Amino acid sequence: MSGPSSGCGFLMSVVVHGDLALNEQEKELNQRLRRLYPAVNEQETPLPRSWSPKDKFSYIGLSQNNLRVHYK
C-alpha cells in the first residue's frame, strides 16, 4: 500500500529536470547575448530581457509575454 508521499520522488524529478532545462536555456541566452554584445559588462549594465509595456508607443503592440513587437 502506498502512502501520500509515494509520488513525491516523481514530482521532485520533474522539478529538478525542469530546472535543468531552464538553466540550459538561460545559459544559451546568456551566451547569445555575450556574442551579440561583447563590450557590455552585464554586472554594470544588465541588458533588458523583454520589452516594457510602459515604454511602448501607441503604434507598437507587444505579444508573447512582451518578447515580440509588432506595428499596429
pLDDT digits (tens, 9 = 90+) for 37-69: 999 998 999 888 888 888 767 888 888 888 888
Q: Which amino acid is at 21?
A: A
Contacts of 40 (CB under 8 A, 6+ apart): 33, 47
52's grid cell:
516594457
pLDDT digits (tens, 9 = 90+) for 4-36: 444 555 444 445 555 666 688 888 988 998 999
Query: CB-side exposure of 43: number of CA atoms within 13 Å?
Result: 0
59's grid cell:
503604434
Strands 60-63 and 68-71: antiparallel
DSSP class of 57: -
Q: What band does 1 get if pLDDT is binned at 50, 70 and 90?
A: very low
Structure confidence at residue 66 (pLDDT)? 87
